[in-house]
A and B are shown apart, each in its own frame.
Chain A
Amino acid sequence: EAQVTQNPRYLITVTGKKLTVTCSQNMNHEYMSWYRQDPGLGLRQIYYSMNVEVTDKGDVPEGYKVSRKEKRNFPLILESPSPNQTSLYFCASSLHSAGTEAFFGQGTRLTVV
């Protein structure tokens, strides 16, 4: 089954404790991206990757890192999480670019206390 898999689905952590949210897709898509969803703000793009070893900042990259060592994986890293990073996070992948249909994971709800 074609899908985008995020882990974990839920996470509660403390300020400053490094964490990684994993994202994997099995569709051989070139383009992958991370969003955060906050009430009233819709989805805002954090980082995106056009292909392996190519990553770029989105609209809200501060406090986040990503890597794209393999085509299928695109982990999101919070080196020192803060409470303002409490949010619902979505990973998505598309065949070639942001203009082709995006397939989203089920989301990761992160709470930083």
Chain B
Amino acid sequence: GNSVTQMEGPVTLSEEAFLTINCTYTATGYPSLFWYVQYPGEGLQLLLKATKADDKGSNKGFEATYRKETTSFHLEKGSVQVSDSAVYFCAHLTNAGNMLTFGGGTRLMVKP
């Protein structure tokens, strides 16, 4: 069936460190892929998306590339800031594009 698997957190980094959060998926075909971010006490916000293979989504210094060979969409950032501390969710479209399936979320903690 459809599923999204993310690395378990929490991920704890020092400011300016390099970030990678792994995400792999199982799905029929090549669905659009998303990263959403949830800051403390808030709802989710779209961070970036990619709609087809080899697309790279980017926003606020974050990047993720749609890799159909490895069915992955890993999130990266070259230099994290304390303000990046949040929970990050990977997701893909399912049910003929009518639903989003989310991973379990990865908590990122960035220390000064």
Q: How far is the CA of A56 from the CA of B98 in the complex (A)?
A: 9
| Stretch in contact with the other chain, from B14-22, B43-51, B78-86 | B43-51
Chain B interface size band reads 20 to 34
Cβ A42 vs Cβ B105 within 8 A: yes
**Which residues of the other chain, B, contact A42 by a CB distance below 8 angstroms?**
4, 6, 89, 102-105
Cβ A97 vs Cβ B98 within 8 A: yes
Known interface pairs A43-B102, A45-B99, A102-B46; 17 further A-B residue pairs with C-beta atoms within 8 A, sorted by A's residue number: A33-B100, A41-B104, A42-B102, A42-B103, A42-B105, A43-B100, A43-B105, A92-B44, A98-B93, A98-B100, A99-B97, A102-B44, A102-B100, A104-B44, A104-B45, A105-B43, A106-B41
Cβ A92 vs Cβ B43 within 8 A: yes
Q: Which of A58, A90, A107 has a CB less than 8 Å from the CB of B99?
A: A58
Q: Which of A40, A50, A105 has a CB less than 8 Å from the CB of B98?
A: A50
The reply to whether the CB of A74 lies closer than 8 angstroms to some CB of chain B is no
**Which residues of the other chain, B, contact A48 by a CB distance below 8 angstroms?**
98-99
> Known: A98-B93, A99-B32, A99-B93. Is A45-B43 also a contact (CB below 8 A)?
no
**Interface 0/1 of A85-105, CB less than 8 Å to B:** 000001010000111011111
Q: How far is the CA of A51 from the CA of B79 in the complex (A)?
A: 41
Cβ B43 vs Cβ A4 within 8 A: yes
The reply to whether the CB of A44 lies closer than 8 angstroms to some CB of chain B is yes
